[in-house]
Amino acid sequence: MPLTRRRLLAGSAAIPFLGTVPGQAATPAEILTAQAALVQIAPPEYPKTGVWAYDDQVPGRTLRYRQGDMVDVRLMNGLDQPTTVHWHGLRLPNAMDGVPGMTQPPVAAGSSFDYRFEARDAGTFWYHPHSNSLEQVSRGLAGVLIIDEPDHPDVDADEVIVLDDWRMTEEAQIHDSFDNRHDLSHAGRLGNYITVNGRSEAVYDVESGQRLRLRLINTATARIFDLRVRGLRAWIVALDGMPLPAPVETTEVVIAPAQRVDLFVDVIAEAGEEAILGSVERDGTYALAGFRVSGSSAAARPAPVALPPNTLPEVRLDSARTVPLRMEGGAMRGLPDGAVWKGNRMDMRELAMMDQFWAFNGMAGMTDEPLVDAGLGETVRIPITNDTAFPHAMHLHGMHFREVRADGTFGPWRDTLLVNSGQTREIAFVAENPGSWMFHCHMLSHQMAGMMNWIRVT
Ligand code: C2O
Ligand code: CU
């Protein structure tokens, strides 16, 4: 990997800072400025799109650290409304989690906030605001955070593939329909324009026989991507930043909002043949990433080995506490018994007037008391029942969980789980990280319209 300035700064954290006045923060190595910008997202025949971006890029620039480094980032707020940065999927101290009013004060327009925490787990993560999230993320605020393993895995290239979904006007401007009640009560703010790394398609030049690491990140606020590979032999090596115990070969990848999938792919297409990562849409499969294959294949590589595991706690079901979560509401099913919102019981019509369409255990939106009050180190099981007509991507902050399958075995470690309509899927986690942690649907229209709660660990 080339030694960039950023890498040098991040890698030199062990050298004490010089010239720092005690009590005054050193200048962080990285500054992210959330601000309005004009970016060419649409094809060249369209005008630039007015976005909200970190600096002037969509997605924001990829922050990269080595496992064990200090992440040290100043957020400058150049927007005209409060914002924060949430570091999605990272196990970090609660005060660095970026939830305004819960873990930190909102960062007012024109002010800044310093985030500093250890890059504990190696993997693929991302960052986005947690303030007016639906609008801020939809307008372009999102970026990738990579934490490298101490030893680089044996791949010929390491590529970030950020999938996003935009709702644009015919002039390629962002449609400002953020409080559209149809979206809030249906599948969320689905867009009409899909991007890969902020462009309509990504193209990579590769050689037949090469092995690539593809880090897929879904930053869309609602769209679930159903992906296929062609001309590539693919293995899933990590989900939501956490390595699988062994690579799993696949030709299909479903990635819900906020999820990450790390793939190793071997280019099996020969020079001139097609190799793509495609998205299955109603009327066909569209290439999101195209690989232009040249060269002749080197000797076939042996099957890949697992990435080194992160240190995660052991989930012990025998002593666990179970707190069921029932999701209800939305179009088609509604909230026939109403729900409690901000301490008041309301019927469905009153809730709709407050833009609330969904409930967790009969409660819409944040509550004074958490869904779970866990003791530090306690294991918690949450069977999640989706009694709605839509899929939901449930995300827990600050800790990863495992799915407990019907036969009692564990699924992979994740921070975001897709629960389809009618399913009950159980998660279990060790309450290892003290603090107040959001637990919400990452379809951000649903989060805003009732699907959020929290878990306290003390
Ligand atoms: Cu990716 Cu609560 O967030
Ligand atoms: Cu949802």
CB-CB neighbours of 407 under 10 Å: 5
Predicted pLDDT of residue 298: 67
Contact 88, 64 (CB under 8 A): no
Predicted pLDDT of residue 12: 32
Domains of the chain: 22-150 (2.60.40.420), 152-307 (2.60.40.420), 317-457 (2.60.40.420)
What tokens were used for 230? Answer: 């062609």
Contact 83, 141 (CB under 8 A): yes
Q: Which residues surround ligand 2, an ion (CB under 5 A)?
A: 392, 441, 443, 446
Beta strand 379-386 pairing with 325-329: parallel
Q: Which amino acid is at 139?
A: R
Predicted pLDDT of residue 21: 40
Q: Which atom of ligand 1 is nearest to the CA of 397?
A: 2
State in Å: Cα 401 to ligand 1 middle. 15
Contact 103, 94 (CB under 8 A): yes
pLDDT digits (tens, 9 = 90+) for 245-284: 999 999 999 999 999 999 999 999 999 999 999 999 888 8
Q: Which atom of ligand 1 is nearest to the CA of 447?
A: 2
For the chain, residues with pLDDT lower than 50 are: 1-24
CB pairs under 8 A, 24+ apart, for 22-25?
25/114
DSSP bridge pairs for 260:
217
State in Å: Cα 29 to ligand 2 middle. 36
Which residue's CA is the closest to the ligand 1 atom numbered 3? 88
What tokens were used for 31? Answer: 């500054």
State in Å: Cα 392 to ligand 2 middle. 4
Ligand 1: list residues with CB < 6 Å. Answer: 86, 88, 128, 130, 258, 395, 397, 438, 440, 442
Tell me which residue of 19, 88, 30 sits closest to 54, measured CA to CA.
30
Predicted pLDDT of residue 144: 98
Give the number of whichever ligand sits closest to the CA of residue 187. 2
Q: Tokens 């005209």: give the residue.
A: 80
Contact 83, 34 (CB under 8 A): yes
State in Å: Cα 72 to ligand 2 middle. 32
Q: Which atom of ligand 1 is nearest to the CA of 126?
A: 1
pLDDT digits (tens, 9 = 90+) for 374-409: 999 999 999 999 999 999 999 999 999 999 999 999
Predicted pLDDT of residue 201: 86
> What is the reported pTM?
0.93
Q: How far is Cα 415 from Cα 268, in angstroms, rounded to an integer?
A: 32
Q: How far is Cα 448 from Cα 452, in angstroms, rounded to an integer?
A: 8
Q: How far is Cα 29 from Cα 297, in angstroms, rounded to an integer?
A: 41
pLDDT digits (tens, 9 = 90+) for 124-140: 999 999 999 999 999 99
Q: Which atom of ligand 1 is nearest to the CA of 128?
A: 1
State in Å: Cα 374 to ligand 1 middle. 20
Q: Which residues of 440-451 are buried (b: 16+ CB within 10 A; e: fewer)?
A: bbbbbbbbbbbb
State in Å: Cα 383 to ligand 2 middle. 16
Q: Which atom of ligand 1 is nearest to the CA of 88?
A: 1
Q: How far is Cα 149 from Cα 144, in angstroms, rounded to an integer?
A: 16
Give the number of whichever ligand sits closest to the CA of residue 453. 1
